[in-house]
Structure 1
Amino acid sequence: MHKTTTFPRRELYDMVWETPLTRLAETIGVSDVALAKSCRRAGIPLPGRGYWAKAERDRPRRPPLPKLKDEYYEVIRFQLASTNDPHNQRKLKPEKGEPIIVPTRLDSPHPLVAQTLKAVGRAKSDQGHLSPPSGRALDIRVSPGSLDRAARLMDALIKASETRRHVWRITENGPTDVEVDGETLHIQLHEKLKRHELPPPSRPTRARGPRPWEPDLDALFALRKQFEWRPTGILTLGIDGPWLTGSVRKNWNDTEHGSLDNKLHEVLAGLAPAAAAIKAHREECERRRKAEEERAARRREEERRVAHQRRLRARLVRAAGQWERAQRLRAFQTAVSARLDELSPPQREKADTWLRWVDEQIDKLDPLQSDLSGLIDLDPPSGDSFTHDPPNGDEWDWWSINRRRY
């Protein structure tokens, strides 16, 4: 089980300048490397080399905490392995357990191992490795001489792993998967090969005497360096998986100080930390994705608010312009009415008709003569009908010009 411990950015900044990084990492329950990486991601400056070795009066002043570019790092999170003691949150190391006995003979192989031996038996050697068909065998790439040992190693590891309820399977794409605590790990067993240079082939003696010219292909072929891959018998068993970082051990191999046969219990113990690392990384990515979605939603909402303000301003300026034009027309109408006494009776009748028509047109133009609900409504449109495109025209440039000027 794992738990998440969080620290505000400002608080962690104070802590790293008050306590040495290694000691602080032990208190939190993470490695000093993981703590340093988290601080760098959050833009927290760290004390330089030799800072704590100096007397307090000789230490350089701490730099100010820079402004944060990404709001996600306002809170720093650490994945901790929980223990029975809630006060001890140190990162757990894998318990190696009892050694796994590798049989000297493979009498009753695991079904996956038996399937692998059957598929490999028909496979051809490809640059020193047996190459079985993809999806029909465990991910074992060894020479024919190391096949028996590789099969016994995988057989012992799979059987011991299944006692812990781990699920193994051969995938169609080739990797060997083992499901540990709901996470999928890829397991591979490869043999190290050594490149051996071959001497160039001897050039055949060409007959003397006149003969038509032809390219000397044998000489060109002899200039190419020839080599072959030779098996070393050194096996490496590796763990891989999506987002598996360097915080956990991923490879075990034959060395001068120990055989891989005696390290299978370490491999088995390393499966759980690897699965936990993948899970923690996936959860971290999920938190980042949600935080980014929240930031994007806030940006969209701000864009929506700005666009709506532009529309309200454009509507205000447009209505004011219509009202001003209506006032000008009414003033002109009044001026015309003042001269009606100069007209003859027939012309005055036509003028009266014209003035009534002018009244109708002015009322249509004047926004104060129509329903005011559209003018005074400040609510933004809802749903997909809202767009962020600014309205046509330059009415809303009044405010943008003032912003640029001041």
Structure 2
Amino acid sequence: MEHQFSRKAFFDLMWSKPIKDIAPDFGISDVALAKFCRKNEIPLPGRGYWAKLQAGKPVMAFALPARGLGRHETITLGRDEWQGREAQEKREREQEIPPPPEFPETLEEVRIRVTKLVGKVTYIKGLERRHRVVATLLEEDKARTEKRNASSYHSFYDEPFFASPYERRRLKLLNSIFLALAKLDIKAHAQGKNPKDFTIHVGDSSVTFKLDDPKAKTERESWRPSSDARRPVTDPLQLTVSWHLEKIDGLRLVWSDGKEVAIEPLLQEIVVELVVAGEMQVRASELYHHARRVKRKADLIEEARQREEEAKRKERLRLQRIERARIEHLLDDAMSLRMANDLRAYIQAVLTANRTSAEPVSDDEMAEWSAWALAQAERIDPIQARSFLLPVEDPGEESKKAEVRTITPSQSDLEVGKPVWHPNQWYTRLHR
């Protein structure tokens, strides 16, 4: 199961009791939990701490260190296992969401701290001292050049990417930036043989930026070289930091060559802002995910409420349909009883009239007819057939009887169940 804590709450938990007593709550070993704490820069009590504390001896406690640049403020331990949609949504509705992460340090305070850590950034004019990323690009370019020179047929595939003055300047800028970041143990990498995008890792955050011609299209992504070997160094360059989260006021993300100033004098600011961007990206991401999680829980609660209301509504309609069907059955029985009694009265009237008739029907014929007619009356008599004891089932939502008219709260049950009257109703509703 996934557990989320603020760094302070997790630190307090780790210092509340021995780690061997805490680890089972998360379903892991104390060794794994200790490794997790080291990864997240959470100090743990030293060996013998709890024994000395229990014996009343003085112990040394550590304070929670400041969160590293680009490190998460929210610590997530474990993960939820998929148990089906209903179980997943039930867990999300019922789980307790911690308060939103707090970042008391302002953007300007972060920038001042990073500036002190970065120190002076120098533009390195040569490429003798190379960062690993730049060295790899130049080595691959050298291999392509050697292959081209050794071949009698020059192929586009073997053209060097970084031979022009423009590309050499671009590599020098990248080299200066990466070497300055390496002093802070910030790693960088590039993808592809002729990359336009580069990524640095500030703590738990990955910052991607592009250093290229501001009007560059997609040539750099193809197998062709982006420019010929004579491309001048005066062509403009622009460094753009990729940002897909909510915009943060005061955070600079773009630097370009201008008529009066080039990018080189801005290297100090660029390096600082790249690190600051990594820190602000973690903040924006955590706040975004917390807000999304809160909204998700609220949406699930509202959906559950609507489903419950819909279920109650359908149950009310079902009970109303059954009640209408019961009343309809009652009225049918009453009509059947009246018809049975009318039939018996009619039979008696025929027998009486036959006895006083001038040309009476024979007794055998009258007996046969009256027996048959009385049998019909007995058949439709609800009392004799005990049809009033038959169970009444839900006719279903598609029942025409349920769609005859809308029920209002002021109507009685008898009015709800009573069908619309039409001529000869009592003798045309024989459902047998």
What's the TM-score, normalizing by structure 1?
0.50
The answer to whether 1:109 aligns with 2:130 is yes
Query: Which residue number in structure 1 is paired with residue 13 of structure 2?
Result: none
Structure 2 residue identity aligned to 1:116 = L
In 1, Cα distance between equivalents of 2:196 and 2:168: 20
Query: Which residue number in structure 1 is paired with residue 90 of structure 2?
Result: none
Structure 1 residue identity aligned to 2:331 = E
Alpha carbons of structure 1 residues 193 and 328: separation in structure 2 relative to 1, 3 Å: closer
Give unpaired runs (5+ residues) of structure 2: 8-98, 146-155, 217-230, 352-365, 411-432
Q: By percentage of residues, which structure has more helix?
A: 2
CA distances 1:354-399 after superposition (whole Å, capped 9, x unpaired): 23422479958x5x41246x57xxxxxxxxxxxxx95342625644
Deviation at 1:329, TM superposition (A): 0.8
In 1, Cα distance between equivalents of 2:108 and 2:319: 57
Query: Which residue number in structure 1 is paired with residue 254 of structure 2?
Result: 251
In 2, Cα distance between equivalents of 1:171 and 1:361: 90
Q: By percentage of residues, which structure has more strand?
A: 1
Give the greater-gyration-radius structure (CA). 2
CA distances 1:210-236 after superposition (whole Å, capped 9, x unpaired): xxxxxxxxxxxxxxxxxxx97645543
Alpha carbons of structure 1 residues 392 and 340: separation in structure 2 relative to 1, 3 Å: closer
Alpha carbons of structure 1 residues 340 and 168: separation in structure 2 relative to 1, 3 Å: farther
Higher mean C-alpha deviation, range 271-280 or range 297-306: 297-306
Structure 2 residue identity aligned to 1:249 = R
On the 8 A contact 2:188/2:198 being kept in 1, the answer is: yes
How many residue pairs match? The answer is 261
Alpha carbons of structure 1 residues 397 and 153: separation in structure 2 relative to 1, 3 Å: farther
Deviation at 1:246, TM superposition (A): 4.1
Bigger RCO of structures 1 and 2 (CA < 8 A, at least 6 apart): 2
Higher mean C-alpha deviation, range 172-181 or range 184-193: 172-181
The answer to whether 1:144 aligns with 2:146 is no
In 2, Cα distance between equivalents of 1:282 and 1:174: 30
Deviation at 1:328, TM superposition (A): 0.9
Deviation at 1:153, TM superposition (A): 3.0
On the 8 A contact 2:237/2:257 being kept in 1, the answer is: yes
On the 8 A contact 1:109/1:155 being kept in 2, the answer is: yes
Deviation at 1:162, TM superposition (A): 5.0
Partner secondary structure for residue 262 of structure 1: helix
CA distances 1:290-343 after superposition (whole Å, capped 9, x unpaired): 433443443344334333433332332233222211211112112223344444
Query: Which residue number in structure 2 is paired with residue 354 of structure 1?
Result: 376
Q: C-alpha root-mean-square deviation of aligned residues, in Å?
A: 4.5
Query: Which residue number in structure 1 is paired with residue 400 of structure 2?
Result: 393
In 2, Cα distance between equivalents of 1:274 and 1:237: 18
Alpha carbons of structure 1 residues 103 and 230: separation in structure 2 relative to 1, 3 Å: closer
Alpha carbons of structure 1 residues 348 and 181: separation in structure 2 relative to 1, 3 Å: farther
In 1, Cα distance between equivalents of 2:253 and 2:233: 23
In 1, Cα distance between equivalents of 2:256 and 2:243: 18
Deviation at 1:118, TM superposition (A): 4.7
Query: Which residue number in structure 2 is paired with residue 184 of structure 1?
Result: 206
In 1, Cα distance between equivalents of 2:201 and 2:383: 80
Partner secondary structure for residue 210 of structure 2: strand
On the 8 A contact 2:209/2:242 being kept in 1, the answer is: yes
Query: Which residue number in structure 1 is paired with residue 75 of structure 2?
Result: none
Structure 1 residue identity aligned to 2:239 = L
CA distances 1:84-120 after superposition (whole Å, capped 9, x unpaired): xxxxx89854332223344332234233222333566
**Correspondence 1:4-403 to 2 at 5 A:** 80-82=102-104, 93-94=110-111, 95=113, 96-97=115-116, 98-118=119-139, 144-162=164-182, 164=184, 166-171=186-191, 175-192=197-214, 232=234, 234-247=236-249, 248-253=251-256, 256=260, 259-263=265-269, 264-342=271-349, 343=351, 344-359=366-381, 368-371=388-391, 390-393=397-400, 395=402, 398-399=405-406
On the 8 A contact 1:190/1:237 being kept in 2, the answer is: yes
In 2, Cα distance between equivalents of 1:292 and 1:392: 35
In 1, Cα distance between equivalents of 2:321 and 2:109: 63
Structure 2 residue identity aligned to 1:100 = V
Give the % identical residues.
14
On the 8 A contact 1:192/1:236 being kept in 2, the answer is: yes
Deviation at 1:186, TM superposition (A): 1.8
